[in-house]
Amino acid sequence: MHEKKDKFDKKGAGGMDEIAKTLFAPIYPVIAQDVIDRFGITEGTCIDIGSGPASLAIAIAARSSLSVIALDSSGDMHEAASRNIAKAGLSGRIHLLQGDVHDIPLADDTADLIVSRGSMFFWDDIHTAFREIYRVLKPGGKTCIGGGFGNKELRDAISAEMIRRNPDWKEFNRKNISPENVERFRTMLNEIGVPSFEILYGDKGFWIVISKTAGGAL
């Protein structure tokens, strides 16, 4: 628990901010455009869970009229996010919210769209987290939650560089996107009774798409 907490303290947040602005920078516009093209949701409220330095939140806001809530448990990540959002001129459209995915400080049926990249692999209790996500999703809303690097070319180039910088990253990433991990999430979604979901798995990464139906409390 401590190890995980430290990972996103000031030093960890600085490292994530740096990599999000450099090596990972090209992935966020690709992921944001994919999500918008896939669902056609361009208005209302989007939540980016585990938003970190807010690169995905910024890319979504820049390509839509969505009002984006950048939810993260780390105050240090939010400090970086706040600077990045101001620099992008999007302070009026992206709202920082400090909180934990296991107890999301938002009302039921808040979001038209929920996105999250690279965060769910760090959550302690995925059953509780996804119950909370389903609760705050509006009927008719969609999620795109998982991890990935946008497309095959970006994934291959970024993976090679990440492994060069830190050989342990190879195993960390392999475990996250392994078929066993996909099955772990699929089993969890069935166990909590999500009626309609799809798991996308391929060159773009591993993404959980939930479609909430009307009257769909779990």
Residues of this chain that bind ligand SAM (CB under 6 A) = 8, 16, 20, 50-53, 55-56, 72-74, 77, 100-102, 117-119, 122-123
Nearer to ligand SAM, 118 or 216 (CB): 118
Asked if residue 189 lies in contact with residue 208, where contact means CB atoms within 8 angstroms, the answer is yes
Number of CB atoms found within 10 A of residue 203's CB: 13
Minimum distance of ligand SAM from residue 3's CB (angstroms) = 12
The neighbour count for residue 166, using CB atoms within 10 Å, is 10
Q: Where are the alpha helices (DSSP H) in the chain?
A: 2-7, 10-21, 27-39, 55-62, 75-87, 126-136, 152-165, 169-176, 179-192
- Write down the least CB distance from residue 51 to ligand SAM, Å: 5
Residue closer to ligand SAM, measured from CB, 81 or 216: 81
Residue of this chain nearest to ligand SAM (CB atom): 52
- Of 146, 93, 98, 138, whose CA–CA distance to 119 is shortest? 146
Q: How far is the CB of 214 from ligand SAM (least distance, A)?
A: 28
Cβ neighbours of residue 98 closer than 8 Å, sequence gap 6 or more: 71, 72, 73, 74, 75, 78
Q: How far is the CB of 75 from ligand SAM (least distance, A)?
A: 9
Nearer to ligand SAM among residue 55 and residue 143 (C-beta): 55
Minimum CB distance to ligand SAM smaller for 69 or for 189: 69
Cβ 215 to ligand SAM shortest distance, Å:
28
**Which DSSP symbol is given to 121?**
G
Question: 65 to each of 41, 143, 163, 166, 169, how far by Cα in Å?
Answer: 9, 17, 37, 38, 36
- Separation of alpha carbons 126 and 183, rounded Å: 13
CA distance 65 to 84: 19
Measured distance CA(182)–CA(206) in Å, rounded: 8
Nearer to ligand SAM, 45 or 74 (CB): 74
**Least CB distance from residue 173 to ligand SAM, whole Å?**
11
User: Toward ligand SAM, which CB reaches closer, 83 or 196?
Assistant: 83
